[in-house]
Amino acid sequence: MLSYLDPGTGGMIAAAFAGGVAGFGVLFRMYGHRVLGLFSKKHRAQAEAARAELAVEDDEDETAPKRASTV
């Protein structure tokens, strides 16, 4: 009747693995950002900004109903 689905991080990682070349690209960029973040202050600042931006988007999403009704 009611299902609440919040896509988990585990699922996203598995999705990236399943996604072949496209998924590899995403994982590569993600770890790339991490490695660059170790050495560059500027990069860390960019990452923070991006994270804040996404967090705002997430919060907006959370006001939207996520309940799906099934028969």
Partner 1 sequence: MSRVYRDGDTVLRGMNAEAFADFQQLAATRFFAAAVERGDIVRTEVVDGVELPDDWAGVLRHERIDVISYPYEWPFEMLRDAAQLQLRLTREAVAEKLITKDASSYNVQFAGTRPVFIDIGSFERLRKAEPWPGYRQFCELFLNPLLVQAVRDVPFQPLLRGSVHGISPVVTADILGGAGRLTKGVFTHVKLHARAELRYADADKERDVKAELKRAGFGPGLIDAQLKNLEKAIDGLKWDKQRSTWSDYSDRSHYTDRDLDAKDEFVRATISGAAQMPRLVLDLGANDGRFSRTALAAGASSVVAVDSDDLVVDRLYRDLREEGERRILPLVLDLSDPSPGLGWRSRERLSFVDRVRADLVLCLAVVHHLALTNTVPLDEIVTFLADLGAPIVVEFPHRDDPMASRLLARKREGVFDAYDLPNWDKALDRQFHVHDRITLPSGTRTLYRCTPR
Residues that bind partner 1 (CB under 8 A): 1-3, 5-23, 25-30, 32-34, 47, 50-51, 54-55, 57, 61, 64-71
Based on C-alpha coordinates, what's the Rg of the chain? 16
Residue partners of 33: CB distance under 8 A and separation at least 6:
43, 47
**Which of 45/55 has CB closer to partner 1?**
55
Distance of closest approach, residue 23 Cβ to partner 1, in angstroms? 6
Distance of closest approach, residue 60 Cβ to partner 1, in angstroms? 10
Taking each helix axis from N to C terminus, what angle separates 41-63 and 20-39, rounded to the nearest 10 degrees? Answer: 130
